[in-house]
A and B are shown apart, each in its own frame.
Chain A
Amino acid sequence: MSKKYMRTIWTLFKKELMSYFNSPIAYIFIGVFLVVGNWLFFKSFFLIKEASMRGFFDLLPWMFLFLAPALTMRLWAEEKKQGTIEFLLTLPVTDWQVVLAKFFGALMFMIVTLLLTLTLPITIANLGNVDFGPVIGGYLGAIFLGGAYLSLGLFISSLTKNQIIAFILGLVASFAAFMIGADFILIGAPKFMVPVMSFLGLGNHFYNISKGVIDSKDIIYYGSFIFFFLWMNARIIEARGWK
């Protein structure tokens, strides 16, 4: 990959990030995330009396379920609605560059939000002895899980002009991808499907990493999940004008 190729992605990435922070949605997003996250966590924290962040990381997939589609819903839908897509995709840039920039822009925003929750481990560390393995694993897992949700949401946003539809479909699809490996679903599934579904579900891999066990299997799983939906996204964009 040439320097120019990366520079273009960087420019597009900056634009994506800028448009997050230019709109009030970003601040609402961060505000809601921090308030809900902290409140739900501290609600049980003092009851359990345990210096760990397990409660927080158990909640995280559920919060992401709503917040990730909120971040991705406008990424393609709005470009289509405003007509800027016609400008963006006639620039001397490849579809793949645009897809990558959008994905990493959203991911960066999510990482910034996660950084703001670092007050939690700092607080807890002052209250007792924290095992930092699961904390680091939890944050790493959160980034991978967030990335997976975002890639799925981004792909869905490319299918529609309507942000609300993009949000709802993104939520449903993320929910499905998360739940497919959950225990109570697996109980009812045909036996030969159980290992497949358990592997495909987004949740199990997250719980593995957030225990502090970083297995290459989980990393590869998330990597392929993200790549698959980004690739599909690029195909959808490429097929414009073939209705």
Chain B
Amino acid sequence: MKCTCLTGFGNTGLPNCVSAFDVTKQLIFVPYFKEDGTINGIDLTGLEGLDQAFIDSKIKALLPDDRWYITPEIKNITDERAEDVTEEFEDTTSVFIQEGARTFTGIVVGAPPQFKAELDKIRCVKGGYYVVDKSGNLIGDNSREGFLDPIRIQDQSLSVGFIKGTDTTIQKVSISFTVSMTMDDANISMIESSKITGTLLGAMGLLSVYKESDSSISTAGFTVTLGANYGGVLSKTKAKGLELADFTAFNTTQSSAETLASVTETSDGVYAFVYDSAVTAADLITVSNRASGDLTKGYDIVPFTILTP
């Protein structure tokens, strides 16, 4: 905080019961700003707690800017401020200039290199994070009245590394970033776990789903294999259980929505699409996530294209 001429002493009493943060277990990365430019925080107005519907609406949000990107469990965490910046004088006294930067480091045990690729993307936007601690509390920044905002990450500070296993250690992905200097530790606050009725601690983020291959492309439909970018190159994790409602098709050539008549999962992760009406030869069809609602299956379909022969 900055001192002004009106700043007096702060009172030093403490209530009998003080809520304490527990050790960090998971982070929730959040785009710091929504599309409309406002901070992507939790509006506390009328909020009595976080139920499962609220948590799902965040973790499985259709719009990427609204989504909470919750990590698996993070271990070996350090979350500390560097030494204060001070100016020292010839008589060996010193004055406080500013706090040192807070840096977070931790590891996700057993995570593969592809997980690093997903986390690296967070560096591309102005990001923030919430903390889910061991007790299930959700910790954020309460500096804005009526909101629990994500704690702002210093732009471009996120660093993610893949650490290979050794004879005595398992592979892991390391995460480190610096907290923005605009954040004041005095504003860190939380929604206590007693107010969180949904499952937050232990929740999983979405899996990105990519088109691995396509076949049987005609003016009537096509078949694609969809998978997450995990597993061996010949045994990728398949995206199972998707249905018609999970997809939207757009005819890029004709600039119009393309209605799908059906989607059939012919085997794990292999989907046969049938158009409602035949498309025209050379039409380029783009397939992406559902048009509305949450991504309830836990998959975020990375848009893919089909070129009609």
Do A and B share a complex? no
Q: Could you list which residues of chain A lie within 8 angstroms of chain B, going by C-beta atoms?
A: none
